[in-house]
Each structure stands twice: as C-alpha cells, then as structure tokens.
Amino acid sequence: MGGDSDCVRYDVVTPTRILCSNAKRQPTGYRDALTPQQITAYQQMSVAMAAQQQAQQAQQPAYIPQPMQAPNYPTMATPQVSPIEPPGGNQVRCISTGIYTNCRAY
C-alpha cells in the first residue's frame, strides 16, 4: 500500500515488496503486500465497523431544526434632528479659475 505521506513515491523491489520514499525522495522503508488472510481480516473488520456505525446512527434521534427567533433587542426612539442653517441663509458662492472651482456657503 502506497500513497500516504511516508510513501509518496515507491520502487518495486519484488512482486510483493516496495521501497517507499517521501516527497523529498528520502527512503522511508519497505512495505510488503498483504497476505490473503490479512485481506480477509481487513474486509471483515470493515464490514463490522460499517454495521456498528449504522447501529449508532439508528440509536441517535433525528435532528429536527428549530426555527430561528429574532433577538429581543430593546427598541430605541429615533432622535429628532433640526436642520442646520448658516447665519446668512443657504447661499453658495463659487469662484472659478481655469479648471479649478472653489465654492463656499454663506
């Protein structure tokens, strides 16, 4: 079995053995092929684990989402704002010189 971080690359040494290397091409060790007995044990373990997971899921109550409720923030009155008027009323005077324009409110 190859493909994990310790066996990114591998070289076949014999039909049942590989030499593993990491991403930096440093040897990390040999790995042997699984025997038929090991394959059978792995398959049986996988089936048993799947059955155990199904049994656990059957015992758990189904998730029922609850509707979200709006937070109960205190309400605040909107403040009343008076308009700001300059002393001379709302007059704007502009002076242009070339491409520049300067405006002032009086």
User: CA–CA separation, 11 vs 27, rounded Å?
Assistant: 10
pTM to 2 decimal places:
0.41
32-46 pLDDT tens trace = 998 889 889 989 998
Residues 27-83 pLDDT 10s? 999 999 988 898 899 899 989 998 888 888 777 766 677 777 777 777 777 777 777
- Report the C-alpha gap between 2 and 15 in whole angstroms: 14
Taken as a whole, the chain contains a residue count of: 106
- The residues with which 29 forms a beta bridge, in sequence order, are 20
pLDDT at 5 over 80: yes
